[in-house]
Amino acid sequence: MKIILGITIGIILIGIVGVSYLQNNLDKKSETIFFTLQGDNSVNSFPNENNWIAGERMTYISTIKNGLLVLATSSASDTVFAFNGETGESIDTFHVGKTPKGVKIRHDGNFAFVANEGSDSISVIDLVLGKVHTEIPVGKTPHNIIFNASNELAFVTLQGEDKIAIIDAKKFELISTINVKGIPHNLDISPDGKLLYVTRIATNDVAVVNLENQQIIAEIPVSAGHHGIDVSPDGNRAYVSGIADNVITVIDTQSFDVIDQIKVGNGPHGLRTSYDGSILYVAVTQTNEIIEIDTETLEIINSVKTGNTPFWIAISGNT
Please tell me whether the peptide bond between 142 and the residue prior to it is cis, using omega within 30 degrees of 0: no
d(CA 309, CA 41) in angstroms, rounded, equals 10
- The pLDDT tens digits for 247-292 are 999 999 999 999 999 999 999 999 999 999 999 999 999 999 999 9
- Superfamily classification of domain 5-315: YVTN repeat-like/Quinoprotein amine dehydrogenase (2.130.10.10)
Give the residue from 161, 153, 201 showing the smallest Cα distance to 179: 161
Q: Is the dihedral of CA 196, 199, 203, 204 positive or negative?
A: positive
Domains of the chain, by residue range, sit at 5-315
Give the pLDDT band of residue 30 (cuts 50, 70, 90): low
Give tens-digit pLDDT for 149-208: 999 999 999 999 999 999 999 999 999 999 999 999 999 999 999 999 999 999 999 999
pLDDT at 18 over 70: no
Q: How many CB atoms lie within 10 A of CB 221?
A: 10
| Whether residue 7 has pLDDT greater than 60 | no
Question: What pTM was computed for the model?
Answer: 0.91
Summarize pLDDT for 142-159 with one digit per residue, the tens.
Answer: 999 999 999 999 999 999
Name 256's Cβ contacts closer than 8 Å, sequence gap at least 6.
208, 218, 220
**151, 108 contact by CB (below 8 A):** yes
pLDDT in tens, 104-128: 999 999 999 999 999 999 999 999 9
Q: Are 16 and 3 in contact (CB under 8 A)?
A: no
Amino acid identity of residue 170, one-letter, is K
Does pLDDT of 301 surpass 60? yes
